[in-house]
Structure 1
Amino acid sequence: MTLSDWLISLEGTAKGHQVALVLALMAALLHAVFGALQKGRHDPWLSRGAIDASYGLMAAPIALFVVPWPEPHMWPIFGGVFVIHLCYKLLQAFAYSKGAYTVVYPVVRGTGPLFTVLGAYLIFGETFNAVQWIGVLVLLSGIFGLALYNFLYLESDRSTLVPALGLAIATGLFVALYTTYDAYGIRATADPFTFLAWFFFIDGLAIPPIAFMRYRRMLNPPALAPLAMRGILGAFIAFASFGSIMLATRLDKVGEAAILRETSTVFAALIGWLVLKETVGPRRIALMALIALGAVIVEFAG
């Protein structure tokens, strides 16, 4: 039995639910790391360009020569994937360029799951019970509370904060859109790894040219070697993070996977504290606990 056959055999089963839980939590941790890589040392556009170029080049031979060829009906779906993810990445890069990571990231991640749950209801017929909706509200109160706290106490340069928050909300809407659309796409093909390989191949085409043009216009561009290393590291993290959440949405409910992934905000705050040297106090710890509690309620009330 191949890995694809094994995963397909788990769809809709109790074991599949457990595997989806692990995949969604792994995606949460790795997505926070991925966001910090893009916001960290280098210009966000250059970081994203290096990452996309790396995972596009890595995925190309797998897409072209290893996995089964996509079915004809998949090509329009991949076209939608390209457009939606390009819009998401452009908005996210603009948001990171305008505001602090610890302000922008929680707003993005808080806006996304609510609209994903609604989209999962409209497209897949998924529903949450009353207790799960309480969990969603608890999680969102923690996420937006964290963003508000960071906005009030941690943001030093407020001249660009309003547009940063607007861009963060728009980015969150596209998080919901790509989460739901990718779930539709990975369910539309017989082999989930066909979708994943072609997703990374196609998704790696757009941002690198933009990043290259930005690099050429810089008066003091960064050294290429560290940027390339960040790109390669980010590519492996992207494979594990985005790949995990897409597989989770094929194995189990899209809405639950999206909610669990938003515990990434907790990991992001820890990264901001430990790596980016941003302040974390008891109030932020309490808000992060609310996020985790909300995710637990959604999971165990289902």
Structure 2
Amino acid sequence: MTTSVFLAILAAAALHAGWNALVRVNLDRLLAITLIQIGSGGLALLGLAFVPVPVRAAWPWLALSAVMHIGYNVYLARAYRIGELGQVYPVARGAAPLLVTLVSVMWLGDPLAPAEVSGVLVLVGGIVTMAFVGGRRGAAPIDRRTIGCALMTACFIAAYTLSDGAGARINGHAPGYALWLFAVNGLVMGGMLWRLRGRRALAALSGYWRVGLGGGAMSLLAYGIVIWAMSRAPMALVAALRESSILFALLIATLWLKEPLGRGRVLAAGMMLAGMVVMRLS
């Protein structure tokens, strides 16, 4: 992985943490997630005139990704209803790179060096440590339902990551693929919310359009960078490194939200940093 790709993925991770912190609005999780999807989809629509239409061979991957994003959004919202952010997010984001690594190496012919595999495992270990020992003191233990929903979320993350990595490579134009993907996702999520909640749900989002556009722009840029990176580096490395967003989220939580920084979080952050160093030096 080149230095430019490495730094670009870190920037994407920071943007991902930023829009997650930005969307602290008085909406339930499904509405908040859909707000970002619609915001990023609307911005993507404006850019379609400047990029080529994806090649025919890329459309099945784009369609598969759109379906997997629906599953991701539904299970993520469900997990947040029954579990804590500090536990759900690291489990979901930590399990996904492992799944991406297994599939990309074993079935997609995207090999990794032993040192790169070690870096991925150490980084993921730090993420899981963040989930189980890095939460607030006195927080309730994570239960089976929460674990189940978080792991299902991870499966959908891995599925759309692999789909988008393959689609972007086949398309040969990563920015164009990303814009079309976000445009499709915005339309699909808006339609799904209409079907599930009706017109009133969409009307409820209108009061938060600034947050939607701001968060949508950050989401679009963050995942657009990831799609571009997957066309230039092994998908497993990109998938693992993008989860350093948890480190940026930890900084935001500590410095801005004034959440306590316990020993567990420090240990987990150290493991994640060690994994990133191994990945960069390998």
When residues 171 and 145 of structure 1 are mapped into structure 2, their CA distance, relative to the original with a 3 A threshold, is same
What's the counterpart of residue 291 of structure 1? Answer: 272
Residue deviations 1:139-180 (CA, integer Å, cap 9, x gap): 222111111114683524x6x843222111111122121111
- Superposed, which structure 2 residues align to 1:31-42 within 5 Å? 31-38=16-23, 41-42=26-27
What's the counterpart of residue 11 of structure 1? Answer: none
Structure 2 gap segments, 5+ residues each: none
Identity of aligned residues (%): 29
Residue deviations 1:253-281 (CA, integer Å, cap 9, x gap): 21111121121121222233344443322
Residue deviations 1:208-253 (CA, integer Å, cap 9, x gap): 24445548678xx96842x211111111111111001111111122
Calculate the aligned-residue CA RMSD, in Å: 2.5
CA distance in 1, matches of 2:260, 2:151: 23
CA contact (8 A) 2:124 2:240 kept: no
CA distance in 1, matches of 2:169, 2:175: 11
CA distance in 2, matches of 1:224, 1:165: 33
When residues 167 and 73 of structure 1 are mapped into structure 2, their CA distance, relative to the original with a 3 A threshold, is same
What's the counterpart of residue 97 of structure 1? Answer: 81
- Cα offset, 1:98, TM superposition: 1.9
CA distance in 1, matches of 2:56, 2:78: 35
What's the counterpart of residue 153 of structure 2? Answer: 171
TM score, norm. by length of structure 1: 0.83
Return 77-86 or 143-152, whichever deviates more: 143-152
Residue deviations 1:109-129 (CA, integer Å, cap 9, x gap): 110111111122134422233
What's the counterpart of residue 145 of structure 1? Answer: 129
Q: 1:249 aligns with which of 224, 230, 251?
A: 230
CA contact (8 A) 1:46 1:215 kept: no
Q: 1:185 aligns with which of 155, 164, 167?
A: 167
CA contact (8 A) 2:134 2:264 kept: no
When residues 103 and 272 of structure 1 are mapped into structure 2, their CA distance, relative to the original with a 3 A threshold, is farther
**Amino acid corresponding to residue 91 of structure 1 in structure 2:** Y
Return 255-264 or 242-251, whichever deviates more: 255-264
CA distance in 2, matches of 1:275, 1:170: 31
Whether 1:24 and 2:4 are equivalent positions in the alignment is: no
Whether 1:235 and 2:212 are equivalent positions in the alignment is: no
- Cα offset, 1:195, TM superposition: 0.6
CA contact (8 A) 2:112 2:234 kept: no
When residues 69 and 128 of structure 1 are mapped into structure 2, their CA distance, relative to the original with a 3 A threshold, is closer
SS at the partner of 1:142?
Answer: helix
CA contact (8 A) 1:36 1:101 kept: no
CA contact (8 A) 1:34 1:237 kept: yes
What's the counterpart of residue 7 of structure 1? Answer: none
CA contact (8 A) 2:39 2:216 kept: yes
